[in-house]
Structure 1
Amino acid sequence: MNKFCHTGFSQIQELYNQHVEQIDSALQHCKETPCTNGMAGEPVPYQLRNDFAITGIVFLCFFLVTYSLKNGQKYLYQHIKSFFRHKERAGLFDESSGFNIRYTLTLGGISCISTGLFVYDFFSKTEPFLFQTVSHYAILFVYIFCILLTVVGKTALYQFVNWIFFDKEKNSTWISAYFDLLSGAAFVLFPLSLLIVYFNLDFNFSKTFVLTAVISFKILLFYKCIRNFFNHFHGILHLILYFCTLEIIPLLFLWKGLIYINNILILKF
């Protein structure tokens, strides 16, 4: 009885060893021979909310907005009132004449970064080939840099043109009003950028909203331009020339420049 049991267990052990050798051989063969059967998997689409760099930029903007709202409430309130109030000459003790460089640069920078995110999201939908060939970080940096460069260039152009045609006080009032609007745009554009990044806001809705915000921004600038420079009827022709030259044309140059940069990046990479 023991002899038969010993023989049976020996056969089972031998069969088990053969089976293990067959499995090891099959695994080794799969490693050495590339598998050509089956269908290729579909890559996961790129999403802004999964990018750590985008998340870092959004958190930085959030802390800067919180800082501005906490410490600059009086500054913001004064400049909102002064934007819609026209004075021929600023008073000696008028606290709203001029601007605080901390809040101006902080909120203006947030507006530029949020606009860069919108442009980034727009081209990621309309030019997917660009995002397949070029680093996403490089594209975002280029867009934000171009928008910042446009703002700096427009400010220098304002200073030059207004220095030729208008007095120093009107020039100062206009620059302050421009940066007030740029700072105020941060409170509109930044929440929308959060919806685009983290809630995948509908592309058509976000595009319409941003376009509406830009048009509203230009209408307010147009109003301020009339009140500050051309408050007489005979200056309407100069107003149109001034506004088109310094507001509409720079936007067209920026848009065409971004498209040209996209083509260069595709060719280079």
Structure 2
Amino acid sequence: MDLFEGYVGIRLWDGQLVDDIIFSLLLALLIVFAIIFRTNFRLFVKMLKDVAFVKERPNMFDEAVRRDSPFFRNFMVFQTLFLCSITFFVFARIRGFVPYPGEKGVLYSIGIAFFVLFLFYQFKQFCYYLLGTVFADPEPYRLWKTNYNAIIGTWGCLLYIPVLWLVFVGTYLTIPILLFCILYILCRFVIIYKTIRIFHTKSSGLLYISLYLCTQEILPLVFLYEGMVYLYNFIETSTLWH
């Protein structure tokens, strides 16, 4: 009598492992975001207010101001960069720019994309610091920095919409990519508007704004483009996918 060896399952398609890993990463990020949102609700509301308004003198009696947490700000920045990394990876995979890697390949490529974006972000922060300390007083620069962090954090929250579309819908790719670009453009316009509102009354305000537009809105994008091209060429020649 033959022994029962069980059923032979249907082989999963090559991209199933990739989707499972991305789903796990997004689920973990959403859980952490939900916990931070629940425990720092006042800071979240303050972040939205900083995007909508420019308060030259924050109310020191406001509990959200007194409880300002570096961990909250850093997580919102991390969330934004991480969602951007997943967006670039998923879009490149769907378009066929990268093959279907294994488990390590997925984490490796997302990690590289995150590292490139993190370096890009740190470069911009360094330029912001130089311009802020040379051409602005400490108080206006501190106010601008608070508004900038709020805008980046809010943009990161909105990025869940195109990212979830790319991961779980997978069709009509023009819509999430266009939405991602629109959100990015709106983010940059709001930052430019805040910069003009805060620094235009200073004697060196016009020079500061001109330098800001050149060093922060044009030159970094060129560096980011070159970095992404290098990343694509590196992935194409890497042995992880061959």
Question: Which one of 213, 216, 219 corresponds to residue 246 of structure 1?
Answer: 216
2-structure distance, mates of 1:141, 1:254:
16
The corresponding residue for 1:139 is 109
Question: Which one of 133, 149, 165 corresponds to residue 163 of structure 1?
Answer: 133
Q: 2:127, 2:215 within 8 Å by CA — same for their partners in 1?
A: no
Q: 1:82, 1:96 within 8 Å by CA — same for their partners in 2?
A: no
TM-score normalised by structure 2 residue count? 0.80
Shift of 1:183: 1.0
Q: How many residues are aligned here? A: 225
| The structure with more radius of gyration | 1
> Over the residues paired in the alignment, what is the CA RMSD in angstroms?
2.7
Does the alignment pair 1:67 with 2:62?
no
Q: 1:68, 1:107 within 8 Å by CA — same for their partners in 2?
A: no
The corresponding residue for 1:33 is none
Deviation string for 1:32-87 (max 9, x for gaps)?
Answer: xxxxxxxxxxx945258x53321221011111221132122211222322344334
1-structure distance, mates of 2:198, 2:220:
21
Q: How does 1:47-58 map to 2 (within 5 A)?
A: 51-58=19-26
The corresponding residue for 2:164 is 194
- Name which of structure 1's ranges 247-256 and 175-184 shifts more when overlaid on structure 2: 247-256
Q: How does 1:78-157 map to 2 (within 5 A)?
A: 78-90=46-58, 92-93=60-61, 95-96=64-65, 99-128=68-97, 130-131=98-99, 135-157=105-127
Residue segments in structure 1 that go unaligned for 5+ positions in a row: 1-42
Shift of 1:179: 1.1
- Name which of structure 1's ranges 114-123 and 241-250 shifts more when overlaid on structure 2: 241-250
Q: 1:133, 1:266 within 8 Å by CA — same for their partners in 2?
A: no
2-structure distance, mates of 1:105, 1:142:
19
The corresponding residue for 2:5 is none
Q: Tell me, what secondary structure is at the counterpart of 2:54?
A: coil
Residue segments in structure 2 that go unaligned for 5+ positions in a row: 1-11
Shift of 1:184: 0.8
The corresponding residue for 1:229 is 199
Change (3 A) 1:69 1:88: closer
State the AA in 2 paired with 1:169. E
The corresponding residue for 1:29 is none
State the AA in 1 paired with 2:168. Y
State the AA in 1 paired with 2:20. F
Q: Tell me, what secondary structure is at the counterpart of 1:193?
A: helix
The one of the two structures with greater contact order (alpha-carbon pairs below 8 A, sep at least 6) is 2
